[in-house]
Structure 1
Amino acid sequence: MLTRTARAVLIAAFMAWPIPTSARLFGGAGREEIAIPTSVLPLDGFTQVHDPLQARVVLLDDGKARAAIAVIDQTSIFEDLVASLQATIGQATGTAPQDVLVIASHTFSAPHAFAPDHLPPGVAMSPEDQKRAITYQAALLDAAGRAASEASASLVPVEPVFSGGASRVNANRNHPSARGWWLGANEAGFVDSSVGVLTLETDSHRPIATLVNYAVQSSVMDHSVGGDGGKGVTADLAGATAHRIEALRPGSVSLFLTGAAGDQMPAYTARRYVYDAGGDYRMIDIGDRGYPLVDLQGERLGDAVIAALPAPLPASGSREDAIRVLHGAVTLGAQERPKDLQQIKPSRAYRFVTAGEVRAPFVIVTIGDTAIVGVQAELSAATGAAIRASSPFRHTMVVTMVNGAAKYMPDEAAYRDITYEAMDSSFAPGSAERFAADIERQLAVLHAAKRK
């Protein structure tokens, strides 16, 4: 928690920060590597760095309001670190901390940034690991702060343009087995192949930022063991996609906004379940040979983004794209999760146990006729598609892993099938449908207010 003095400093910095007075939208972007010194490893089972993790920040300003979007290459980001990142990025950009969206890219191949004094239940650290964890957290905050400073220093008038495409580098991860639904690439399951793209360009069509919204977990190398017997740090599919776009749009920064991917995995992974004709499965792991799968799928998804970009249009010069930020939460039914993930196995008769209530926060950022819906929970792809379809905004992105993590919020079909996500959820059946309905109402209110 911030002290009273720290809050006063942040408020003073925010009030003193110069804000453009033009009615036009301004945008800036920055990208910085998260430096992981060799002294930090091994950490959380990771023994080497295959490719560096990144912190990327986009700053938006309409002359009256500011909002920042930060994507950090992490599996998930816990609330204490979210608050620190919001404060750091807010101070560097003159943005109110609550209007900083901190998003995990959801790479499964990055050490968890545990704070020694805020460890999750059941997690213990040796004194040496505590030192490594503190160093790692400091590296994350440093990279985010530098990227935010770059975004602030590079503010220029921009034209926001939304476009859409499609790519099939994802697959449904719920696979039927002989004992019930389990994990694996299921070609027959529902897949959301849509790619949402929001670009920021100057009047001369110089690219500033490319925001990509796609429903897939960046888990190509999830728990894959390398030749040295440990796991390798990698930004995985999200990072490979961003790097591909940045290579094809020199000077720009690409942010990967993970969509409703609770049941969406990469089509090809290094460590995976293989099923036989009878529905029995076994695990195989190709180890370091899996890294080309990251590059190939990232290249394919990145190329789909580039193909979706619209032809350059004449700059309007008078366009008004007001920014609005709405924070809210929905109270939903809760259920008990297994104390040990090893307890989760394929089942045809699982008993879901309800347990009180849980709050599910959300944040909605609108830029003109584009809405970005950010949630902590990992929604199923069908839920994300339903929110987009019902949104009154011309363009809508549904982004998960925003300002914290809340595990899975599956749709009702997942509970009927007894999928992994349903068993590993803190939300009771029906929560996703109620959550989506509330977000749809909020979008309708925002859109009606925009038209007045």
Structure 2
Amino acid sequence: MKTVADIKEAISGATVCVLFGLGVFGCGSTAVNPVAGTASAGLKAGAGAAEIVFPSALFANPHAVEGFGGIIHDNPHARVMVLETNDKVAIVSLELVRTDADGIALVKDIVNRYTGTPKDRIWVHSNHTISTPHEPRDAALKRLWMGALEAALASAAQQAAASFQPATAGFGSGTSDVNVNRNVLMSDGQYHIGLDGTLPSNKTMTILRVNSRASGKPVGFILGYGIKPTAIDNAGQAAGVRQVSADVPGVACNMMEREFGAPTLFLMGASADQVPKYDAWRAVDNGNGDVTDNVDFYSQVGMDYIIQRMTALGTQMGTDAIAIAKGIATRDAAPTIAYGVTTFEWPNAEKNASTAVRVDAIRVGNAAFVGVKPEVDSVTGQQLRAAAARLGYAHVMLHSFVAGDAKYMPHAAAYTAPLTVEARKTGFAAGGAEELVARSIALLGSLGKAGKTSGL
């Protein structure tokens, strides 16, 4: 059986099959943007942010929009960053629970129109912000939802285009202890969603800082951290009083923007099993094997308390992010930028069909963003980071909900009894996460040896 460590050579434009215990799976292809062989004129970058303002008419009937009653604690944002040296890419961060195919197409159209970024170089990521409404199925409500997204994206993309300028970049990492593994072993011998789980939790926060070459002031930031925005969660759903909010990461991004005066994009890391240290929608162990899942704590503690806990965690996350950002030196004026894509097939949980899994990677100097649709867990994220370090990458972040979303794809040990919450709800057979890491490493290798010369 091949391991991640075995896959060290670049794979470009080739078909690859990796053998695993389940048989021959994972046959797919890799498409890579060629890295320029000559020096570029230097990095250019621009960024923009705008609130997604849902109209009040969307919430006329709370039960038609998942119990949202029209109370807006804080508006979610759409944010865009454009980066260009030898390749031009755009990263879009949406503080939404998810974005369907039509929404993704809309986002790419808008960003392409205003920034000139090729559509196949636009990364669309939803933060899985539970405290925002899904795209409605009702046609009238859908038009209202899409209109809010379109207006925000147009504003953010225009800002990114207007601020596009010669820039320098740098990455930095630190820790933020606001998340926890949500898998709690309860009296029935099973893992349930709870607080203070003892399974692994990745506290590493990584930030890309981009500065104006002319002024030295920030153009924008990208903040990667492993946390699902679920402190408020579904609280108040049954009562029709759910509140719209960008939750814990939203507080942190807003703090960053006030501190530095520049857009801050949050990218949800490998967070299938990672939640804030407070979650208002979780299981309760009644003892003697009696466990109640999905308890709404709104009825017990009230919304004000829930908002207080969310805000406190967001403030801590924001404080940590600001400290990390202030320590980042933006020394690289011409980092190599490359966008690569690979796909592979993996069997579903029942092993009677397979699904194409797409992996997108953006290299920025000796760092990279890796994005997938499935929800991957913190173990997988740390496995990828460790393997990428052997290729010379100083910072590699794995993000779910890129170009859409898919079911959970936990690491192999999660399938061992007692199964984690993610393994019980998975849409994939065991081994998919390990294949994803192997494919991601091969893809990063095909984007070139990162080395330690870029200054990032």
The TM-score normalised by the length of structure 1 is 0.83
- Following superposition, the deviation at residue 108 of structure 1 comes to 0.3
Unmatched 5+ residue regions in structure 2?
A: 1-38
Match of 1:420 in 2: 421
Which amino acid in structure 1 is aligned with residue 221 of structure 2?
Answer: T
3-state SS of paired residue (2:353): strand
Q: How does 1:282-431 map to 2 (within 5 A)?
A: 282=292, 283=295, 284-285=297-298, 286-289=301-304, 290-309=306-325, 311=327, 313=329, 319-335=333-349, 353-391=350-388, 392=391, 393-416=393-416, 417-431=418-432
The answer (yes or no) to whether the contact 1:271–1:287 under 8 Å persists in 2 is no
3-state SS of paired residue (2:447): helix
Distance across 1 between alignment mates of 2:373 and 2:402:
5
Q: How does 1:214-253 map to 2 (within 5 A)?
A: 214-225=225-236, 229-249=240-260, 251-253=261-263
Match of 1:208 in 2: 219
The answer (yes or no) to whether the contact 1:333–1:427 under 8 Å persists in 2 is yes
- Following superposition, the deviation at residue 59 of structure 1 comes to 0.9
Identity across matched positions, percent: 29
The answer (yes or no) to whether the contact 2:172–2:327 under 8 Å persists in 1 is no
Q: Residues 201-257 of structure 1, C-alpha deviation per residue, up to 9 Å, x if partnerless? A: 1233301111111111000111100796421111111211111111221x2111110
CA RMSD of aligned residues (A): 2.2
Change in 2 beyond 3 A, CA 1:436/1:38: same
**Corresponding residue to 2:54 among 23, 36, 39:** 36
What stretches of structure 1 move > 6 A for 4+ residues in a row?
449-452
Match of 2:272 in 1: 262
Which amino acid in structure 1 is aligned with residue 248 of structure 2?
Answer: L
- Following superposition, the deviation at residue 440 of structure 1 comes to 1.3
Matched, 1:186 2:186: no
Matched, 1:54 2:77: yes
3-state SS of paired residue (1:379): coil
- Following superposition, the deviation at residue 389 of structure 1 comes to 0.9
Which amino acid in structure 2 is aligned with residue 309 of structure 1?
Answer: A
Distance across 2 between alignment mates of 1:451 and 1:299:
34
**Corresponding residue to 1:133 among 127, 142, 145:** 142
Q: Residues 358-416 of structure 1, C-alpha deviation per residue, up to 9 Å, x if partnerless? A: 11111100111111111111111000011011102122111111110012111112211
- Following superposition, the deviation at residue 75 of structure 1 comes to 0.8
Distance across 1 between alignment mates of 2:95 and 2:238:
23
- Following superposition, the deviation at residue 76 of structure 1 comes to 1.1
Change in 2 beyond 3 A, CA 1:279/1:248: farther
Higher relative contact order (CA 8 A, sep 6+): 2
Distance across 2 between alignment mates of 1:396 and 1:308:
16
More displaced stretch, 207-216 vs 228-237? 228-237
Distance across 2 between alignment mates of 1:46 and 1:405:
22
3-state SS of paired residue (1:409): coil
Distance across 2 between alignment mates of 1:158 and 1:449:
20
Q: Residues 401-438 of structure 1, C-alpha deviation per residue, up to 9 Å, x if partnerless? A: 11100121111122113222112221111111111111
Match of 1:79 in 2: 101
Which amino acid in structure 1 is aligned with residue 251 of structure 2?
Answer: A
The TM-score normalised by the length of structure 2 is 0.82
The answer (yes or no) to whether the contact 2:168–2:334 under 8 Å persists in 1 is no
Distance across 1 between alignment mates of 2:169 and 2:158:
21
Which amino acid in structure 1 is aligned with residue 124 of structure 2?
Answer: V
Change in 2 beyond 3 A, CA 1:106/1:312: closer
Number of equivalenced pairs: 398
- Following superposition, the deviation at residue 53 of structure 1 comes to 1.5
Distance across 1 between alignment mates of 2:374 and 2:357:
7
The answer (yes or no) to whether the contact 2:129–2:246 under 8 Å persists in 1 is yes
3-state SS of paired residue (2:348): strand
Q: Residues 34-92 of structure 1, C-alpha deviation per residue, up to 9 Å, x if partnerless? A: 12111111323211222112111111111x42111111111111122212211121111
3-state SS of paired residue (2:114): helix
Unmatched 5+ residue regions in structure 1?
A: 1-20, 117-128, 336-352
Distance across 1 between alignment mates of 2:368 and 2:238:
44
Distance across 1 between alignment mates of 2:450 and 2:422:
36
- Following superposition, the deviation at residue 330 of structure 1 comes to 1.7
3-state SS of paired residue (1:68): strand
